[in-house]
């Protein structure tokens, strides 16, 4: 990124201000990036644990697989998923607060005795599955924010800060050269005036 500037003291002061802002902001942005990286890792670990838990729960009820064919589809359904929002390192993340289920009425005497336990199992599996989806979404959102923050860190570290430093160096050299030329010109003028005075 080429930084546009003029060779004067005003531009030098402006560039110094911009450089100070970026140098001060860089540690904060780096901390945000590491916090987001940690949260992404936590969310991935939690979603993996929930995936394993779903498989574990399903394995617990493998002996009932043949019975699930008798289970009435649509007996249990999710009516509402209640959400909340939290902020993690400045990123708004939806969180699962509660899952509301609807269970159709059925005749306990006409249906197999295990239907009541089947409803509990389905509710538990659905709740775990929804929670897992929320952690996957949390991981996706946080990872997106982390990538953006990493880009900003790289922009500051590798492009803008060195660019401002280089521009400041060029302006300082130019102003020093200009001052030296001015002093040299004054010496030459002074020497000529002395020569003219000596001749008279």
| Token pair 């509710």: residue | 123
Domain regions of the chain by residue span: 9-188
* 36 within 8 A of 87, measured Cβ to Cβ: no
Q: At 164, give phi and psi (nearest 5°).
A: -65, -40
Q: What pLDDT, in 10s, does the model give residues 7-44?
A: 899 999 999 999 999 999 999 999 999 999 999 999 99
Q: Cα(5)–Cα(168) distance, rounded to whole angstroms? A: 9
| Token pair 């306990």: residue | 108
Q: Write out the two tokens for 113.
A: 């005795």
* 155 within 8 A of 74, measured Cβ to Cβ: no
pLDDT grade for 148, boundaries at 50, 70 and 90: very high
pLDDT grade for 1, boundaries at 50, 70 and 90: low
Q: In this predicted structure, what is the pLDDT of residue 76?
A: 86
Q: Cα(43)–Cα(3) distance, rounded to whole angstroms? A: 40
Q: What pLDDT, in 10s, does the model give residues 84-97?
A: 999 988 889 988 89
**Which one of 3.90.230.10, 1.10.287.3240, 3.40.630.30, 1.10.287.3510 gives the CATH number of domain 9-188?**
1.10.287.3240
* 168 within 8 A of 12, measured Cβ to Cβ: yes
How would you class 134 by CB atoms within 10 Å of its CB: exposed for 0-12, middle for 13-18, buried for 19 or more? Answer: buried
């Amino acid at each position: 990124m080429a930084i546009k500037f003029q060779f004067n003291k005003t531009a030098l002061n402006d560039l110094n201000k911009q450089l100070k802002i970026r140098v001060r902001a860089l540690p904060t942005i780096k901390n945000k990036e590491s916090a987001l990286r940690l949260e992404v890792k936590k969310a991935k670990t939690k979603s993996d644990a929930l995936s394993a838990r779903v498989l574990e729960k399903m394995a617990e009820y493998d002996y009932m697989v043949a019975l699930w064919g008798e289970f009435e589809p649509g007996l249990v359904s999710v009516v509402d998923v209640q959400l909340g929002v939290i902020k993690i390192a400045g990123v708004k993340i939806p969180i699962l607060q509660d899952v509301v289920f609807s269970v159709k009425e059925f005749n306990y005497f006409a249906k197999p005795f295990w239907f009541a336990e089947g409803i509990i199992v389905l509710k538990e599996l659905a709740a775990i599955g929804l929670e897992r989806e929320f952690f996957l979404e949390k991981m996706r959102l946080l990872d997106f924010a982390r990538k953006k923050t990493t880009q900003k860190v790289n922009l500051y570290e590798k492009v803008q800060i060195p660019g401002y430093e280089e521009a400041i160096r060029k302006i300082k050299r130019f102003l020093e050269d200009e001052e030296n030329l001015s002093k040299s010109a004054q010496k030459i003028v002074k020497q000529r005036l002395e020569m003219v005075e000596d001749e008279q």
